[in-house]
A and B are shown apart, each in its own frame.
Chain A
Amino acid sequence: MLDEKTVRHVAKLARISLTDEEVAKFTPQLSQVLDYVEILKEVDTKDVPETSQVTGLKDVFQKDEIERSSVSREELLACSELPVDSKQVRVMPAIK
């Protein structure tokens, strides 16, 4: 069902670099899973609503108050392996 070209395209959409070996391995494996889920077509879901939340909660609001974080800026910046500059993580240029 899936071909290698599609697998490479999906990997591009997902921002993941794949080796040629991975593409060759994943193509049949992903096809197998997608073929399997075709079983869902057997179920009549006309007039059945979609479920994305199972306990019925809707529109949960919080008080519009700023709470001080227990974590300092320095601690958060220390999580990055990239250089820190002017209290921010410095990334490489976005445009080549």
Chain B
Amino acid sequence: MSELNKLTIREAHEGLVAKKFSSTDLTTACFAEIKKKDKDINAFITLDEEGAMKSAAEVDAKIAKGEKIPVLAGVPAGIKDLINTRGVRTTCASPFLKDFVPPYDATVIERLKENGLVMLGKTNLDEFACGSSTEHSFFGVTKNPHDLTRVAGGSSGGSAAATASDMCFYALGTDTGGSIRQPASLCGTYGMKVTYGRVSRSGVTAMASSWDTVGTFGKTPEDIGFVLQAIAGRDVKDSTTPDVAVPDYSKFLTQDVKGLKIGLPKEYFEEGVEKETADTVKAAVAKLEKMGAKVIDVSLPSTKYALAVYYVTMPAELSANLERFDGIRFGKKPKNEPDNLVDYYFAARGEGFSQEIKRRIMIGTYVLSAGYYDAYYKKGLRVRTVIIQDFAKAFEKVDVLIAPVSPFPAFKIGELVDNPLAMYMADALTIPVNAAGLPSLACPAGKSAGGLPIGLQIIAPQFQEGLCLRVGAMVK
């Protein structure tokens, strides 16, 4: 029963139903792979072998009784450690929460449990999802499975590396400015950033509330569709989830791309984007053209302002969201407890947050402070509108947009960590999509001369995740 961990969700499900192997076998295979590889890669912060084996046995019992099981049932997954899991430590990769055990499940976890979730453990990330390399994790960097001297990307680097190296079948992540697509691209796997509001964020630690989304990594677009089917849709606990029907995503995967209009936004292939990356993405698009798609050049002139919009509005929202971390109701108390409350806040937050979080809270506090609010924050919200209008104009002419995900393949560990602005540039091509709340699927497009994965993203209008999957299934 070797190599079971390399199957897709569909193959695993079919094997389970046909009783070729059990969920216990699948789970055992994943833990064997984790034990073999994760000392080097460091994709997981916490493993829950006991819980996973118990969940697997429950699914196996259902199969033995002849019960019909959902497609995800018994198929092992990793969960980004920003997502609350009842009874299993959830750290947000922060010293503040290194011993925090949530008393409740996030809505996405509840929904996956209804679908027979087998959770292997919690995956690594940049602290509070702030970063593009997982170098800002209290639990150490996640290494790229293709080259252990390089980063896996971030912030959902653990989920990306675990999926790409077959330690799990799929893994949940979050994408606020590129945190699913960028690591998916750097690790050579698929990653879906959903429309803002498509998936509930209840129970997921908030970073920047008008940007945050929960999505998934998978080995194929079809597998992504299976996970999305289970987690998408309205949730009363997250009032930003609109009552938009969730389509049957499997229906999109049987359609071809004939006559489909694909836009190539020229700003995504210009300066700052490595030529090899741009050429690889264009070559993949040329193949779609041969299959009958129409390729149209478009322009999104506001692209170069998106990063600045993000680094004004995101820290503002982050600084407000992280106010709740005061070391009182949850989180670590400071080593030496001051004798009054105000000093307690200073000490708890000074010790509990690492440097990148402090930097971002400070930028946010600054741009929201009296005298700067209009110049920075309001201006940022207005330019955000311009970005949204640019996408709307492009979608009058085309069905989807295809562009590189990251301007360059995986960079070396330590290369950008002390140059925050250079690190932020890694997300220059993913952030505009979040600004407009659009869905985007990152797909492997090829490899660099050095053997590193290069990814492309398929961007669609809001709530058209199915279209992303349809095109993604045709990208070879």
Contact = CB atoms under 8 A, between A and B. Distances in A.
Nearest to A47: B382
Interface string B351-363: 1010100110111
A25 B356 CA distance: 11
Given A52-B210, A91-B344, A32 B339 contact: no
B106 to A, nearest CB: 13
Interface string A25-64: 1100110111011011111010011111111010010100
A76 interface: yes
A30 B366 contact: yes
Describe B's contact surface by its main secondary structure. helix
Contact of A55 (B359, B361, B363, B462): B462
A36 B346 CA distance: 29
Contact of B327 (A2, A18, A81): A81
A4 to B, nearest CB: 12
A86 interface: no
A24 interface: no
B359 A54 contact: no
A51 B365 CA distance: 20
Interface in B373-399: 376, 378-386, 388
Contacts of A51: 381-382, 384-385, 388
Contact of A50 (B240, B378, B421): B378
B117 to A, nearest CB: 17
Given A53-B210, A57-B197, A92-B344, A82 B328 contact: yes
A87 to B, nearest CB: 13
Contacts of B323: 15
Contacts of A94: 340-342
B437 A29 contact: no
A66 interface: no
Contacts of A11: 358, 362
A2 B386 CA distance: 29
A60 to B, nearest CB: 4
Contacts of B361: 14, 16
A57 B305 CA distance: 25
Contacts of A34: 363, 366
Contacts of A53: 210, 240
A37 to B, nearest CB: 4
Q: Which of B304, B349, B365, B424 has the most CB of A within 10 A?
A: B365
Nearest to B350: A17
A40 B380 contact: yes
B341 A36 contact: no
Q: Which of under 10, 10 to 19, 20 to 34, or 35 or more describes the interface residues of B?
A: 35 or more
A52 to B, nearest CB: 6
Contacts of A6: 366
A93 B347 contact: no
B236 interface: yes
Contacts of B386: 43, 45, 48
A5 to B, nearest CB: 13
A26 to B, nearest CB: 6
Contacts of B350: 16-18
Contacts of A52: 210, 381
A91 B420 contact: no
A7 B349 CA distance: 16
Contact of A75 (B103, B305, B462): B103
A92 B337 contact: yes
B308 interface: yes
A82 B333 contact: yes
B345 interface: yes
A17 B347 contact: yes
Interface of A: 2, 6-7, 10-11, 13-18, 22, 25-26, 29-30, 32-34, 36-37, 39-43, 45, 48-55, 57, 60, 62, 70-72, 75-76, 78-82, 89, 91-96
22 contacts: A10-B362, A11-B362, A13-B369, A14-B319, A16-B362, A17-B351, A26-B355, A26-B358, A33-B363, A37-B376, A45-B386, A48-B382, A55-B196, A55-B242, A55-B437, A70-B104, A71-B103, A72-B103, A89-B328, A91-B341, A92-B339, A93-B341
Name the 5 nearest CB pairs between A and B, nearest first: A17-B350, A54-B437, A50-B381, A45-B382, A75-B103
Given A43-B305, A62-B239, A79-B102, 12 more contacts: A14-B319, A14-B364, A16-B349, A17-B350, A22-B358, A29-B420, A33-B311, A33-B421, A45-B386, A54-B437, A55-B196, A92-B339
